[in-house]
Structure 1
Amino acid sequence: MSAMDVIKILLVEDQQLVREGLKGLLALHDDLQVVGEASDGAEALEWLAAAAAEVMPDVILSDMRMPRLDGLGLIRALAARALRVPVLLLTTFDDTAAFDEAVRAGAKGFLLKAISPDTLHQALRDVHAGGTALRPSLTTRMEAKGGERAFTAADQPDPLSPKELQVLRLVASGRSNTEIASLLGNSEGVIKNHCSAIFSKMGVRDRTQAVLRAIDLGWI
């Protein structure tokens, strides 16, 4: 495998024992390389500032809950600095609120730490390729909590047009309407209209529900 094929990873985890364990797991794969480590989001930002001239990671693998600056804060800080490095969050807790927060913040991945090493490997590959890995086990429970979704697993939404599906996938990647408009060469008003049509066809109320529903359907 050539050096170009290797995915460079910045590992952010406050518990040293967990961080060392993750490093060991990632080292088992020839296409993964940990190029930096940090104990929280603030230290990760310092590492990025110092390393920018030499090496930038392809993916940041970060714990969700950390002191000083947590995973969500790190994502927002990266966006404020225009650093477009995708972040895959790991969490110990099966928490729907945390999942919603991660989707809104723009996490490209959100996984429970109880996943298998193979699942983590594939998730890193997916995120590096521009996709998402938003598949915690908790999403399957949401239908059981009355009123949280406007649909059931049996519902089949109206099909989306290719453009609507493109917009939906960009929404799932955490981009704003303004960013999507810029990427697709449309006005923000056109993108808002596409989002309204997507929500109507899918029978959902907002962006978070649309992403959750798209995950259920295997669209993202």
Structure 2
Amino acid sequence: MTMTTDKDNHTPAGSPLKLMLVEDQQLVREGLKGLLALYEDVDIIAEASDGAEALTLLEAPSGPGMPDLILSDMRMPRLDGLGLIRALAARALTIPVVLLTTFDDASAFDEAVRAGARGFLLKAISPDTLIQALRDVQAGGTALRPSLTTRMAQTGGRGERAFQATEQPDPLSPKELQVLRLVASGRSNTEIAALLGNSEGVIKNHCSAIFSKMGVRDRTQAVLRAIDLGWI
């Protein structure tokens, strides 16, 4: 059975998305497996009960191999989703991670962005929204749009989200927007420089220009502001 068409599928024909599923609650994990099995362009190559087990599988010589993407619960014992993202970075494993969470919580969202999550989604989302988010991340984008971002955009945000920028910041150049999207994907200045063929100093200059135009202080605020504006 398939719930996708060639028209809306970002994955090339014959190349299913290789996914690792990380979830500590077996009932939830089995439910996600059953749901994802309905989409023929998604192949669950491994599953783990927490981040520590996921790392063991990834590093095992006889393991399942590297997935294209990891779909992980945010809160788990031993090593949670945030810890898994940091551990992957420490091992220079550039596997994008999409985090799932139960609660519509602004601080959790900010934590996920800081850690470098490529996606942050509520478990209450629809199956089609989840699958589209996975495809977007596999294609190099982000899926950082839980309902809390919409609500905060409507209210103007609080605390760290209470930006000092004008309603509509100065427009970014195409290169600056490209850098901003890579920042949102969790990549460091060094990684962005390598991807774009620039020096790290050039990327730092682009980031400074981005922050100035957007009226923000740092990378996290730039990403959150860009999400509120619909730029990423």
Instruction: Note whether the superposition's TM-score is higher than 0.5.
Output: yes
Q: Is the 1:149–1:204 contact (alpha carbons within 8 Å) kept by the matching residues of 2?
A: no
Q: Is the 2:57–2:64 contact (alpha carbons within 8 Å) kept by the matching residues of 1?
A: no
| Counterpart mapping for 1:176-215 below 5 A | 176-215=188-227
Aligned to 1:12: 22
User: Are the structure 2 counterparts of residues 102 and 33 from structure 1 closer, same or farther at C-alpha, using a change threshold of 3 Å?
Assistant: same
Out of 47-56 and 165-174, give the one that drifted further.
47-56
Q: Is the 1:13–1:19 contact (alpha carbons within 8 Å) kept by the matching residues of 2?
A: yes
Match of 2:173 among 154, 161, 166: 161
Aligned to 2:163: 150
Report the residue type matching 2:207 in the other structure.
C
Shift of 1:141: 3.5
Pairing 1:123–2:133 present? yes
SS of match in other structure, 1:34: strand
SS of match in other structure, 1:174: coil
User: Are the structure 2 counterparts of residues 68 and 190 from structure 1 closer, same or farther at C-alpha, using a change threshold of 3 Å?
Assistant: same
Report the residue type matching 1:145 in the other structure.
R
1:59-107 CA-partner distances (Å, limit 9, x unpaired) = 1000000000000110111111111111100011212111111111111
TM-score under structure 1 length normalisation: 0.92
Q: Is the 2:46–2:64 contact (alpha carbons within 8 Å) kept by the matching residues of 1?
A: no
Report the residue type matching 2:175 in the other structure.
K
Match of 1:136 among 146, 171, 177: 146
SS of match in other structure, 1:10: strand
Report the residue type matching 2:137 in the other structure.
V
Out of 169-178 and 209-218, give the one that drifted further.
209-218
Identity rate of aligned residues, in percent? 80
SS of match in other structure, 1:133: coil
Gaps of 5+ in 1: none
Q: Distance in 2 between matches of 1:88 and 1:147?
A: 23
What is the aligned-residue RMSD (CA, Å)?
A: 2.0
Q: Which 4+ residue blocks in structure 1 deviate beyond 4 angstroms?
A: 51-54
Shift of 1:146: 5.4
Gaps of 5+ in 2: 1-5, 7-11
Q: Distance in 2 between matches of 1:54 and 1:197?
A: 43
Aligned to 2:105: 95
Report the residue type matching 1:169 in the other structure.
R
Match of 2:186 among 174, 177, 181: 174
Shift of 1:53: 6.4
User: Are the structure 2 counterparts of residues 67 and 54 from structure 1 closer, same or farther at C-alpha, using a change threshold of 3 Å?
Assistant: closer
